[in-house]
Amino acid sequence: MKVVITRPIEKGSNFGEILKKEGFEPILIPTLDLVFKNINLKIDDYSWIVFTSPRGVEGLLKNLSLEDVKKVTSKKIGVIGIETAKEFKNIFGKDADIIPNLYTAENLLLALKKEVKSHEKVLIPTTPSTRDVLKEGLNAELVFVYSSEEPNDIDKKIDDLKKITANENKSGRKIVLTFTSSLTARNFFKHVDLSFLEVLKKQEVVSIGPITKKTVDSFGFDSKMHPENYTTKGMVFVIKGLSLNI
């Protein structure tokens, strides 16, 4: 079964390798290019550092001196989910202090509000496309350490996908579309014409979590998602389940 991956190329390739091991055929259509930024910041000003994605961890690291890297390990750390926690530990060698039970910004905010003192300043290394949820009720500063930009070959890749989808459907097979963020979905569907959109509605669609699902479903879908595990691992579980019914 062919599975379309819309996340940035590096992470998309990793996801594709996982799917290959499970017997699926990945089709990479990156709808985002990640561009890391140079910023000026004073780590000493913050008591907490909160990450909403693994790329925020990587983007912060690129802006730190060796001395600042050591300072990060003395801060209290909040992360949105297990994948971000793994990235932080791999880079900084420390476990996160807070990981919400459900991997959404809303649940992370609730967890942080119970721990962050009113006088403590919070640093959030993120992207301009991030949601503002975490600024609510926190003494937080968003610092943009990377941006998400559209590749210039999306139209061509979607034209190719039209042919692939038609061939699969003629053979009685569906393709699976996957989306790991709202932005990957918006960037994908803005390049899809109405006739192909109707074709895609007859395929299978998998979203990584409830926020992404809400965005995907606004284009006329009822995408599938794992009920608890908002990670690519959870997506693979869902895709495997779909393959049994296709």
* Domain locations along the chain: 2-32+151-245, 34-148
pLDDT at position 246 over 60: no
Tokens of 243: 């393959």
pLDDT at 139: 83
The beta strand positions in 140-193, using DSSP E, are 140-144, 146-149, 176-179
Annotate 10-27 with three-state secondary structure: HHHHHHHHHHHHCCCEEE
Q: Kindly give the pairing relationship between strand 33-36 and strand 146-149.
A: antiparallel
Length of the chain: 246
CB 149 within 8 A of CB 33: yes
* pLDDT tens string 176-190: 999 999 999 999 999
What average pLDDT does this structure show over 108-126?
94
Average pLDDT, the chain: 94
Domains 2-32+151-245 and 34-148 equal at CATH topology level: yes
pLDDT at 131: 76
* pLDDT tens string 202-245: 999 999 999 999 999 999 999 999 998 999 999 999 999 987 76
What average pLDDT does this structure show over 45-69?
95
pLDDT at 133: 84
Closest Cα to residue 92, out of 43, 33, 144?
43
**How confident is residue 148, by pLDDT bands cut at 50, 70 and 90?**
confident
**How confident is residue 134, by pLDDT bands cut at 50, 70 and 90?**
confident
pLDDT at position 11 over 90: no
What average pLDDT does this structure show over 22-34?
95
Q: How far is CA 210 from CA 50, 64, 70, 138, 207, in A?
A: 21, 33, 35, 23, 8
Residue tagged 């985002």 (tokens): 32
Sorted by sequence, the CB contacts under 8 Å of residue 84 that are 6+ apart come out as 51, 52, 53, 54, 56, 57, 96
Alpha carbons within 13 A on the beta-carbon side of 61? 13
CATH 3.40.50.2300 is the classification of domain 2-32+151-245: no
Q: Which conformational region is residue 226 in: left (phi greater than 0), alpha (psi within -120 to 50 degrees), or beta?
A: beta
Considering the four listed CATH numbers 3.90.550.10, 3.90.1150.10, 3.40.50.10090, 3.20.20.70, the one that applies to the domain covering 34-148 is 3.40.50.10090
